Amino acid sequence: DIQMTQSPSSLSASLGDRVTITCQASQDIRNHLNWYQQKSGKAPKLLIYDASNLETGVPSRFSGSGSGTDFTFTISSLQPEDIATYYCQQYDNLPPLTFGGGTKVEIK
């Protein structure tokens, strides 16, 4: 099974800051990676698919990059509504589809 290692597990940043989360796959997954946002008490929401494609309706301050084993998710300017936990998910070698452990983003 492919393991997804996400870091950091939590972070605290100021409004307007640039926030970066990384996800590392245990083997090459090409660009087969998605990013989700989960707000407290809510279902996850797809933000980025195929490593760098913005889902329809998602604000452009969210972006993703990477291929192979190393991926990055960025919020260019942190907003209050971005407080959430973010997950990466691979679909290169399945089953199983696997998620990273999550990154909790808080306001400093």
Partner 1 sequence: EVQLVESGGGLVQPGGSLRLSCAASGFTFSDFHMSWVRQAPGKGLEWVAKIKGDGSEKYYVDSVRGRFTISRDNAEKSLYLQMNSLRAEDTALYYCARGGKFRFDHWGQGALVTVSS
Buried b (16+ CB within 10 A) or exposed e, 14-51: eeeeebebbbbbeeebebbbbbbbeeeeeebeebbbeb
Say if CB 23 and CB 33 are below 8 A apart: yes
Q: Taking the complex as a whole, how short is the minimal distance between the CB of residue 15 and partner 1, in angstroms?
A: 26
Alpha carbons 76 and 19: distance in angstroms, whole number: 6
Residues 24-43 binding partner 1 (CB under 8 A) are: 32, 34, 36, 38, 43
Alpha carbons 30 and 1: distance in angstroms, whole number: 15
Q: Taking the complex as a whole, how short is the minimal distance between the CB of residue 63 and partner 1, in angstroms?
A: 17
Residues 43-72 binding partner 1 (CB under 8 A) are: 43-46, 49-50, 55
- Which C-beta is closer to partner 1: that of 78 or that of 98? 98
Q: Which of 23, 29, 84, 100 binds partner 1 (CB under 8 A)?
A: 100
| Site residues, partner 1 (CB under 8 A) | 32, 34, 36, 38, 43-46, 49-50, 55, 87, 89, 91, 94-102
